[in-house]
Every structure is written in structure tokens, then in C-alpha cells.
Structure 1
Amino acid sequence: REAAADPSEEDINHEARNPVVAAFARGNRRSLVCAWLVTALWGGGFYLTFVWMGVYTATLEEHPLPHAFLINSLSCLFSVCLLFQVAGILSDLHGRRRIMLLGGVGTVLLSPLLFEVVGYGDPLAAFFAQTSLGILLSLWGAPMCAWLVESFPPAVRLTSVAVGYNLAMATVGGFAPAAATLCIDRFGTGKSVGYVLSAIAVLSVIALLCAPPRRRPEGDQKSGGRGELGEHRCLGGGGQEGVT
């Protein structure tokens, strides 16, 4: 049976004439905050791993890494450019959250070690460590693209995704490299930067787990595979079960 109408979606639809106002409606705020924090790991992680890292290994390390920018580019090619699609397919088959949690928890646990390995100054070790970070980010970032779309009803979808995504990039993505440079200046080791990324990942994983499941609005397209919208069930009016 169809689930009862969600009061939060009624609030959103009531304000839908102005998409900006609707995006910040009471029923949409929790999803909006979660979208911001979930995207924070992708923004902060990518900027630290593939933007700041090249400068760090080439100029900030005590022993600069030979061919630092070549290693940076190759690791991004193999771990993100080529594997992003694979991570997206895995999320279609096994669910968004499962694949994202694999990447998010892996980032929490392994970032300090992998940043420390990059700081050893060995080109081969740095390549594999940076590639490993990129794989973890792909496992998070590829499903995240679909997860963001599936988190909002059509009336506010584009506006909400734009606000959440760009807010994360402007705050966490923009300030993470500055925080990393301060850590290097204060502690002198890449491992400290790994802890910064782990902290960001913890916030993003918590936001992912706290994000409200959304019922599919009437007339919206059905998702393929086993994405999140096909996995959740909720109780409608009178305790009746409705598919989300």
C-alpha cells in the first residue's frame, strides 16, 4: 500500500513556488544539513589528496618527492578517473550506503597511515598510498552523486543539491588545505594531516547514518538496481507499511 503523505514533504511542496525558500523549509533542513556534511568528505578529501598533496610532496616535505606532480596525476587517473564508474556500478548493485560506508570508514581508519607513507619520500610508496586514498574517496564520492539526488523530492532537488554540495566545497573543501598546511607547520608530519581527513570522514559518516530516508514522490522515476530509494520501508498512517 502507498505510505501516508509525509508532513515534511507537504511543507516543501507548499513553498515550492520559490525553490530557494522551499529548500530551507522545515521539512527539508535535516536532509540539507546531511547533504552538506556528506559532501564534506568528498570535497575535503579530494582537495587534500590531489590538490594540496602535490604541493606538499614537492615543496613542503623535508625531503621533496621526485616527480611529485606526475605521481599525483597518475594516482588520480587510476584511483578516481578510472574507478569512479566502477564504484558507481557497485552502489547500484549493493546500495549507496554500503559502498559509501566502505569508503568512509576506510578513510577514517587508514588516512593517518597513508599520509605518513606519502611523507616517507619514496616515489613508489607515495604512489600506492595516494592511490589507496583515491580509491577510498571514489567509493564514497561515486555513490554520493546518486545519493544526493535521491535525498530530495523533485520540487527542491536541484536547489537543495546545489546548496549542500557547494556549501561543503566552500567550507570544508576550501579550508582543508589551509588546515593541512597549519598542521605541517606545527607538527611537521603528514600523519597529522591524515587525522584531519579522518575527522572530516567521521562527520560525513555520521551525517550519512543520520540522513532521513525519503519516500519517492508520486510520478518520480523508479531507480534502477538496489539504490537507497529501493531499500527503505517506512510505516504509513495507521501503522501500515509503505515502500520508500
Structure 2
Amino acid sequence: MTAIPAPSQSKFGTVLRVTSGNFMEMFDFFLFGFYAQYISKTFFPAGDEFASLMLTFMTFGAGFLMRPLGAIFLGAYVDRVGRRRGLIVTLALMALGTVLIAFVPGFATIGYLAPFLVLVGRLLQGFSAGVELGGVSVYLSEMATPGNKGFYVSWQSASQQVAIIVAAALGYALNVTLTPLQIGDWGWRVPFFIGCMIVPVLFMIRRSLQETEEFIKRKHRPDAKEIFRSMLDNWGLVIAGMMLVAMTTVSFYLITVYTPTFGKSVLKLSTTDSLVVTLCVGISNFIWLPIMGALSDKMGRRPILLFFTLLTIATAYPAMSWLTNLPTFNKMLTVELWLSFLYASYNGAMVVSLTEVMPVEVRTAGFSLAYSLATAIFGGFTPAIATALIEATKDKAAPGLWMTFAAVCGLIATLVLYRKRGDVTPGPGARNSEPETDLKPA
């Protein structure tokens, strides 16, 4: 039987251990989006730049279609065998996908086998990521001190921002040291190689994780059949959770993964400008996420979720319209930082809310399924949808409409999940703010 972690174990050290693998998962995903133009020319050559880019973004999105499967099967595994073992498995799968993308030769060398192997790598990454965010979020919620669950869980998202910062910084360094021809030829692979080199270190860090006390003390560990049955019984809760995540996942991929392509291909700004903006967005997200997570511990989740969905609906498209009318670096930075503030403020309360509404016995599977469905349906295809919307409408600000739609989904979900009465604001030692909802766990 796994020993209960010693009370003296550093909370900071535990947060660092559990989020280190989450950093790696997200780092690999971001790289694919950051270098979409170069990847499209290497693996998906086409006569039309739009078609080539769309093939790349569709491959990027295909990884998200695997997330629901990863959420169901790996989520059930984590809920049955433990948080620690499950998080090690997800890291291994992500590492395998990264190796494939980093080392596969281009289309000119091995033909159609190249895009096929890249697709396999993306599918492996998607399968593992389907439960990674849920596993990390649940782990953090179960090890959090009373009254501070929102603050602790916010570090799941904050670790993703570190990945953005590192990926953007690497991109900037490559852009100022290599020529565009060198980057297109082989330079874009360098960050993927660095990711492969980091993996062994992260395995060592994550292996030192101890199981959460809450999981160890649980007397009943549901098998896969019980978990699947619970998911079916709570389908309404999963759908509401999926809509709650919609705004997070759309705004996140819009302001991070899509930003370099949007800045260069649509706004016609330099690659360096776009990467600097992405770097600043990552820093902004990293600052706001724990602040708003902690604020949700004091104010409750519902007021923050409602306020920032409404603010996004009111400002997302106008902000994008202002940017696309005579775009400049300063305007792009201003708008992206505003969208960053909207995303991080909402997400700081949203992620912990999702851990609280799910039945405790299937918390990882339920969280992961809701999150992965939202990512597969809404967020993962955001770069492709944004590209298609601009092409169809000839409106460069059209991605702002997609973010507005996602905010409407988040608003509806918040009203549904908290429709009975508002959540209770937790105090020190109090029960964290779990919503009173008519959607009851099985």
C-alpha cells in the first residue's frame, strides 16, 4: 500500500513536481502551432498556401479529437490506480509523439509517409493530453490547503504559460540567429529536439511524486465499467462542463498558438513582432491566473465566471476590429494583453469549478472528458476555424466572433451549473465553493 505523504513535504515542491510534466505536454503542443507555416511546407506541401496551412492546422486539430478517448480510458485508469502512476503514463505517451514529430524526415524525402507519421505523433500527443490536464488539476485540488483550492489549481494553467514563454523565447532566439531559409529547412526542429532532451529530467521529477492523501483514504476504487456508467449517468454534467471550458480553450489557443500565424500571415507583421507578443501574453497569463484563482477562493467562482464572460462578449470582436484596422505592433500587443486578461481571469475560476462539480469517485475521468470534449469541438480547431473565417468573410477580425461565441457558451454553462443559487464563498478552513446545482452526481 502506498504510504501517506509526510506532512512536512513542501507544497511548493509538490506543485512543481506535478506541473513539470504538464509543462512538457503543453510545450510540445504549442511548438506545432508556433511553427505551423514551416511544418506545412515540410510535411504538407501544396500549390496553395492557404490549403497547405489548413492541412497543417487540421492535423494539429486531429490531436484534439483523440483527447476524449484519452479522457475516458486514461481517466478511468487514473481514477482506479492513482494520480501518480497515471501522470507518469501520460508523460511517456507525449514523449513518444514528440520524438516522432522531431525526427520524421520531410515529404521530399519519404513522401506521404511523412505526413502520416506526423499525424500519428499528434494523435499520441492528443491521447495523452486528454487526461493530463484533468490529472494535474485533480491532484492539485486534492493536495490544496483548506480555502485555497482555487489558488493551487490555477498553477495547472500557469505551468502552461511557462511553456508558452519558453517556446516563444526559443522561437525569438532562432529568428534572430538563423535566416528564414535555415529556420524553414531545419531550424524549426530545434525546439522539438530540446523537448526530447528535457523528457528524461521530467520523468525523474514526476517519479518522485507521492499519491494524494484523499485518494489513499478512499475505500472504494471504481473499476472501468463503473466509471463509464457514471459518465453516462452524468452526461448532463459533462455537457455543461464542456460548455464551461469552451471559452477557456478557444481564447487560450487564439491568443497563444494562433498568434504567431495571425501576426505574420494576416496582419503582415514580422515574425519577431509576433513572437514577442506571444511571449508577453504568456507572462501576462502567468501573472493573472493565480491572482484570479485566489480571488475566486474569496469571492466565489460564480461572480467571476459571469463577469468575465459578459466582458468578453462585449469587447472581443471590437478589440480585434480595432487591431485589424491599420495594424501595428503596439496595437497587437495591447489587444492580445487584453484578451489575455479576459482568458486568465475566467480560467482562474473555471478550472477549479470543474474539479468541484464532478463526482469524487470519477473526478479525473469526468473533468478530463468535459475538458477534452471542449478542446476537441471548440479549442483545438481554433487556428483552423480562425483561418477559415477570415477566408470566408474577408474580415480579418472574424476570430473575435469565434471567441465571442465561446464566451456565450461559458455564460450559459455558468448559469446552468449555478442556477439553483449562488456558490458559497469559502473562508479559511471552510468547504471550497462548490456550486449548488440540479445536476446531481450518480
TM range (shorter): 0.7 to 0.9
Give the equivalent residue in structure 2 for 1:22.
229
Measure, in 1, the Cα distance between the counterparts of 2:321 and 2:385.
17
Give the equivalent residue in structure 2 for 1:64.
269
Report whether the alignment pairs 1:204 with 2:414: no
Give the equivalent residue in structure 1 for 2:317.
112
Measure, in 1, the Cα distance between the counterparts of 2:227 and 2:251.
28
Query: Offset of 1:117 from its aligned partner?
Result: 2.8
Measure, in 2, the Cα distance between the counterparts of 1:224 and 1:135.
29
Query: Offset of 1:226 from its aligned partner?
Result: 7.9
Determine if contact 1:183/1:193 at 8 Å carries over to the other structure.
Answer: yes
Question: TM-score if structure 2 supplies the norm length?
Answer: 0.44
Report whether the alignment pairs 1:88 with 2:290: no
Query: Offset of 1:162 from its aligned partner?
Result: 0.9
Q: Which has the higher helix share?
A: 2
Trace 1:189-228 onto structure 2 (pairs within 5 A). Answer: 189-211=395-417, 227-228=432-433
Measure, in 1, the Cα distance between the counterparts of 2:428 and 2:369.
23
**1:34-90 Cα deviation digits (max 9, x unpaired):** 1111111111111112111221111222x4256111112212312x11111001011
Report whether the alignment pairs 1:50 with 2:256: yes
Measure, in 2, the Cα distance between the counterparts of 1:75 and 1:97.
25
Aligned CA distance change for structure 1 residues 37 and 224 (closer, same or farther; 3 Å): farther
Give the equivalent residue in structure 1 for 2:281.
75
What is the DSSP-based 3-state SS (H/G/I as helix, E as strand, rest coil) of the residue aligned with 2:257? helix
What is the DSSP-based 3-state SS (H/G/I as helix, E as strand, rest coil) of the residue aligned with 2:398? helix
Q: List runs of 5+ in structure 1 lacking aligned partners.
A: 1-14, 215-221, 235-244
Trace 1:132-143 onto structure 2 (pairs within 5 A). Answer: 132-143=338-349
Report whether the alignment pairs 1:121 with 2:121: no
Among candidates 170, 173, 180, match of residue 376 of structure 2: 170
Determine if contact 1:30/1:212 at 8 Å carries over to the other structure.
Answer: no
Query: Offset of 1:223 from its aligned partner?
Result: 8.5
Paired amino acid for 1:71: V
Determine if contact 1:49/1:134 at 8 Å carries over to the other structure.
Answer: yes
Query: Offset of 1:189 from its aligned partner?
Result: 2.7
Give the equivalent residue in structure 1 for 2:363.
157
Determine if contact 1:32/1:160 at 8 Å carries over to the other structure.
Answer: yes
Measure, in 2, the Cα distance between the counterparts of 1:97 and 1:89.
14
Give the equivalent residue in structure 2 for 1:97.
302
The higher radius of gyration belongs to 2
Paired amino acid for 2:433: E
Aligned CA distance change for structure 1 residues 41 and 150 (closer, same or farther; 3 Å): same
**1:151-171 Cα deviation digits (max 9, x unpaired):** 012111111001111111122
Measure, in 1, the Cα distance between the counterparts of 2:315 and 2:249.
18
Measure, in 1, the Cα distance between the counterparts of 2:310 and 2:431.
21
Measure, in 1, the Cα distance between the counterparts of 2:333 and 2:374.
27
Measure, in 2, the Cα distance between the counterparts of 1:167 and 1:23.
17
Paired amino acid for 2:357: S
Paired positions, count:
210
RMSD: 2.7
Give the equivalent residue in structure 1 for 2:387.
181
Aligned CA distance change for structure 1 residues 175 and 232 (closer, same or farther; 3 Å): same
Measure, in 2, the Cα distance between the counterparts of 1:117 and 1:34.
33
Q: List runs of 5+ in structure 2 lacking aligned partners.
A: 1-220, 421-426
Measure, in 2, the Cα distance between the counterparts of 1:96 and 1:161.
17
Question: Percent of pairs identical after alignment?
Answer: 21
What is the DSSP-based 3-state SS (H/G/I as helix, E as strand, rest coil) of the residue aligned with 1:178? helix
Measure, in 2, the Cα distance between the counterparts of 1:233 and 1:60.
43
Aligned CA distance change for structure 1 residues 31 and 132 (closer, same or farther; 3 Å): same
